[in-house]
Amino acid sequence: MREDFLLLNPGPVPVTRDVRQAMNEPMVSHRSAEFEAVYERAQDALDYVFTESTLDGSSTASDGTSLIFNGTATMAMEAAVANLVGDGGNVVPLVNGKFGRRFKRIADRYASVDPVETTWGQSIDLDAVEATVDDDTDVVTMVHNETSTGLLNPVEEVGEIAAEYDATFVVDGVTSIGGDEFRIDDWNVDVAVTDAQKCLAAPPGTSAMYATEAAQERFDGDAAPFYEDLDWHLRKADSHQTPFTSAVPLFRALAVAVENIEEEGMAERIERHRRQSRAFREAFTAMGLDLFAERNEATEYSNTLTGVALPTHTRENPDAFFDAIEERGVSISGGQAHLGGEIFRVSNMGNLSSEQILRGVRTIGEAFEE
């Protein structure tokens, strides 16, 4: 792989040299003081990211705990659901893309599910959410930034509805946390999950969760899969360990990546992501392309990933378009599931420079001209 190969896929994203080097250190036991120090560093920096992802630098949560898992965010999503309704209950999952659907599929295994579904790429109908959530609802799940379409969903508005009915609000912030605003208390979020290989810019393999005190009181670890018992994870996290063997090199890399975020500062980082996604949107629109997601007054385009409808002539042979990009040393993604061959997706998550954003635009423009 050439050193300047540019990954613009919506995860995994490029990792900096210091993050890569962290994986190259001599091995230690996951029960050693050295490892506990790594866990603690990662956890402290994650506390910062989870609670201070605001443009004004204000803090948005105080009483929760950040946990780190072996396993990607799908496992963290399942852990949240299973610890809340593992022995049954009522879940309202909001679905307007692949990852909203993933929450629904997870919930289907544990509880009774009453989804609010919208065509992928379109905005969730808040009236339908209001009409569906009621006093019997135990959990509401939603995705903040729908990676499959490029739409930023209205967590604040849904959080108000969940809070009105005292439902536990579980939010997938996998492609927003660490790159965009995320206000845990202000938005009534009880459990937030994120992945290492997205905005945190760490290698894939670990994920993180922030669980408020109120959510922790509702967890029933005995009802969850053995590996995902959050009561146990919380107990071990007190001593900066995981219940089972930690992926030591990945935890080390995560610690460095999240400390780098703290050094940049979340407000600065959010502004950079907004600037870069605006540049992508404006460049693609100037090329005569249409953004895929459909906004309404409650939604925004994603600030971390741009979904664009492929023009008709490219749909005849989308592989040639993606190959032309790859030949120029850049990688982007196509659509997922039924959106394959219909859209392309470009990420600006992590630590990209303006030069890399411009290179992405230039390369995609050249591929269209081929």
Task: Indicate the residue among 174 and 184 with the shorter CB distance to ligand PLP.
Answer: 174
Q: Which tokens sit at 73?
A: 């965010």
Task: Indicate the residue among 35 and 96 with the shorter CB distance to ligand PLP.
Answer: 96
Task: Indicate the residue among 107 and 143 with the shorter CB distance to ligand PLP.
Answer: 143
Taking alpha carbons only, the member of 354, 367, 198 closest to residue 279 is 354
CA 310 → CA 27, 258, 275, 341, distances in Å? Answer: 46, 35, 23, 7
Distance (Å, whole) CA 313 – CA 354? 30
Residue 143 CB, nearest approach to ligand PLP (Å): 5
Residue 99 CB, nearest approach to ligand PLP (Å): 4
Residue 27 CB, nearest approach to ligand PLP (Å): 25
Strands of 151-152's sheet, edge to edge?
A: 145-146, 151-152, 300-301
Task: Indicate the residue among 35 and 103 with the shorter CB distance to ligand PLP.
Answer: 103
Length of the chain: 370
Residue 153 CB, nearest approach to ligand PLP (Å): 10
Provide the pairing of β-strand 139-143 with 90-95: parallel
Task: Indicate the residue among 73 and 224 with the shorter CB distance to ligand PLP.
Answer: 73
Task: Indicate the residue among 159 and 203 with the shorter CB distance to ligand PLP.
Answer: 203
Distance (Å, whole) CA 185 – CA 155? 11
Give the residues lining the site for ligand PLP (CB under 6 A). Answer: 11, 72-74, 99, 143, 147, 172, 174-175, 195
Distance (Å, whole) CA 20 – CA 203? 8
Residue 125 CB, nearest approach to ligand PLP (Å): 20
Residue spans of alpha helices (H) in 52-125: 73-85, 98-108
Residue 96 CB, nearest approach to ligand PLP (Å): 12
Residue 271 CB, nearest approach to ligand PLP (Å): 22
Residue 10: CB atoms within 10 A of its CB come to 27
Q: Which tokens sit at 341?
A: 């061959």
Cα distance from N-terminal residue to C-terminal residue, the chain: 24
Task: Indicate the residue among 74 and 240 with the shorter CB distance to ligand PLP.
Answer: 74
DSSP state of 317: -
Distance (Å, whole) CA 353 – CA 176? 18
